[in-house]
Amino acid sequence: MIRDSNVVIIGGGIAGVTLAEELRRHKYSGPIVIIETGKLLYDRPPLSKEYLLGHVPETQLAL
């Protein structure tokens, strides 16, 4: 059995976010920390999809 340990991902771009998602998909239950330079993480589909389709109000978007 592999013991869960801490995971630190450097960069919140598409590769970093995808890695975090894949770890969870493969049942990793340990802590995941994403270190980013201060800008928002890459994975922001509500901005590009949900808002433009009228499913999310502007007040719920992080710009």
Q: Judge whether 2 and 27 are in contact, CB under 8 Å.
A: no
Domain regions of the chain by residue span: 7-60
pLDDT computed for residue 1 by the predictor: 35
- Model pTM above 0.75: no
Each of the 63 residues of the chain gets a pLDDT tens digit; together they read 355 689 999 988 888 989 999 999 999 999 999 998 776 655 566 666 777 788 878 777 665
Identify each DSSP E strand in 1-63 by its residue range: 7-10, 32-35
